[in-house]
A and B are shown apart, each in its own frame.
Chain A
Amino acid sequence: MSAQSFEEVLARLYTDPSFRKSFLDNPTNTLTKCGLTDSERDDLASIDKSGLLLASRSFYAKRKKKFSKFGWLWRNFRFFLQLVGR
């Protein structure tokens, strides 16, 4: 269960800006109620902060693009046009 909690916290760090800010400001307090072992908290406290910020930025850009419903419809419509036109 703890390994799953660890992944959940990691996913939250990647996707939740206020949680990430709180973590960067005060990792110990932020991680207290996350259901992690001491060693997992230590692992997260020593996280590669530069990598975390860049990865989060990259994931945000991907989410923005991916969950645009209009983009999905447009891609499929164009695919149809190409096949029909062929």
Chain B
Amino acid sequence: MWQLGKRDAIGLGWRIDLGPSILSNIDKIDVLEVIIDDYFNSSRVELRSLNTLARQIPVLYHGVGLGLASSLRVDQRRLEKLARILDVLSPEIWSEHLAFVRAGNREIGHLAAPPRTNCTLDGALENLFIVKKTIGSCPVLENIATLIDPPGSKMSEPQWVTQIVNEGGGTLLLDLHNLYANALNFGFEPISYLKSFPLDRVNLVHLSGGKWIKEPAGFESRPKGELLLDDHIHDVPEEVYDLLNVLGKSVPQPLTVIIERDGEYPAFQLLLAQVQRTRNVLMEARKHQEQQVQKIGGSLECTII
């Protein structure tokens, strides 16, 4: 069976609506990613059914609700539930977002960008320490998309993410559509923005799509009066494949790339075509990388091209 981290792997996010099609085309997909929060109330028997899936194909587990990036301590009950699940599943890798999702007994309901300050940086590191102590492993950390420039921020997003990943001793799940949306929404050139992240720490990648939404009347502040929403219900845009190409040329380590789609599903063949497209983009980038290595006659470390 395919072993994660040995070479590039391309896969899909496991979604109930896609389940039958995924299982019928499992030979065309290298890896699946399961949203672990969907199974928080599952019995051990139900969890073992995920292990059945994991015997057919490598499975990554992805969390969305811990709220690691906060000056507030991670919710202990939620953490214990997660520990119980991961104990049954024993995954090679699991991941979580650098986001805050609750504060003062309020559930925000989704991933919110915290103020990028020393307080949230220290809070995230403390939370990672608690997670490691409770679960026994650290998650791969994912950058999030945000429609609002978090107020009170004293650092740029790449600086803040780099410090947490470096000081937390972890690796990075780089969501290229999140990165692309943030770059466009806050006035950065996407490829330069990509290069300001710690690419040598990336081992997982997410691709997805989004749509442009209009700013509310009377509050327009962007040149076009629009922001890019990362909604996971549109196809991966060309520009995001371009970012993957740059990433693939820049780093020597194997990448596991997951295409996320959360609704308005196209015909499954079209999703498979996106998997194949991703594979081709990454293969082309690696070929280019090999040629560069041969030219200079040495080994490749992370190079920002």
Contacts and interface: CB of A to CB of B under 8 A. Distances in A.
Nearest to A65: B109
Interface residues of A, number: 42
A44 B117 CA distance: 14
B108 A59 contact: yes
A51 B229 CA distance: 11
A4 B152 contact: no
A48 B151 contact: yes
Contact of A44 (B104, B149, B152): B152
Interface string A62-82: 111011000010011011101
A16 B107 CA distance: 11
Contact of A43 (B123, B151, B219, B229): B151
Given A51-B148, A53-B219, A78-B16, A11 B104 contact: yes
Contact of B219 (A15, A40, A49): A49
A4 B148 contact: no
Interface residues of B, number: 47
Contacts of B123: 3
What secondary structure prevails in chain A residues at the interface with B? Answer: helix
Contacts of A67: 107, 109
Interface in B21-73: 23, 38, 41-42, 46, 49, 52-53, 70-72
A63 B110 contact: yes
Nearest to A36: B152
Interface string B158-194: 0000000000000000000000000001000000000
Interface string B119-157: 110010000000000000000000000111111100000
Given A3-B120, A40-B152, A54-B216, A15 B222 contact: no
Nearest to A52: B148
Interface string A5-49: 011101110111000000000000000000000001001101111
B54 to A, nearest CB: 12
Contact of A8 (B106, B110, B229): B106
A60 B109 contact: yes
Contacts of A16: 106
Given A8-B104, A43-B115, A85-B20, 6 more contacts: A3-B71, A7-B70, A49-B219, A58-B147, A63-B107, A76-B42
A60 B42 CA distance: 26
B102 interface: yes
Contacts of B241: none
B48 to A, nearest CB: 10
A64 B190 CA distance: 32
Nearest to B114: A7
A52 B117 CA distance: 19
B72 A4 contact: yes
A51 B109 contact: no
A83 B49 CA distance: 8
Contact of B109 (A12, A53, A66, A79): A66
B147 A51 contact: yes
Contact of B112 (A11, A47, A76, A78): A11
Contact of B108 (A15, A75, A78): A15
A50 B71 contact: no
Nearest to B222: A50
B213 interface: yes
Nearest to A84: B49
Nearest to B152: A43
Given A10-B112, A14-B112, A75-B38, A51 B106 contact: no
